[in-house]
Amino acid sequence: MTLRTGHTGLNVTDLDRSLAFYRDVLGFALLAEGKEDGRRYAFLGERDGEGGPVLTLWQQAQESYDGRRAGLHHLAFAAGSADRVREYETALRGAGVEFHHEGVVAHGEGAASGGIFFHDPDGTRLEISAPLGAEQAPAPHASAPTCGFF
């Protein structure tokens, strides 16, 4: 068996702010939370509670995300359809989130897959995409994958 991702842990500077973003804007369910000073965390998963944590937020960071350092490049979430990606785009815009590209873009020239690219409250690069539905969407870069955040 090949390893697959279990859950992703992100260091955040303000757990309350990040929890509101991931829970209230992106729709993750709060599965468990640690509230002890110096040990704050939140386990987030699917609304039905199946499958365990998908994302863990740890209030351990002192500074925002820095994409110039080795480590996490971006975190990608899969939506079931391009229409669902657009629903997330609407919710994110309503929350004042700025996007890396304007609207849904293709993953590459002629690709059917595509999505939206943006940042969380600490600057972590995020993607929500679907495998189909971006056939008519522009590809920001002809020579590199869109998820490169170039």
What residues are labeled active site?
127
**SS3 call for 96:** coil
Beta carbons within 8 Å of 58's beta carbon, 6+ residues apart:
9, 10, 11, 12, 40, 41
Whole-number Å distance between alpha carbons of 10 and 8: 7
**Cα radius of gyration (the chain):** 16
Cα distance between residue 146 and residue 1, in whole Å: 30
The tokens describing 115, both together, are 């999505």
Q: How far is CA 66 from CA 24, 29, 74, 123, in A?
A: 25, 27, 11, 8
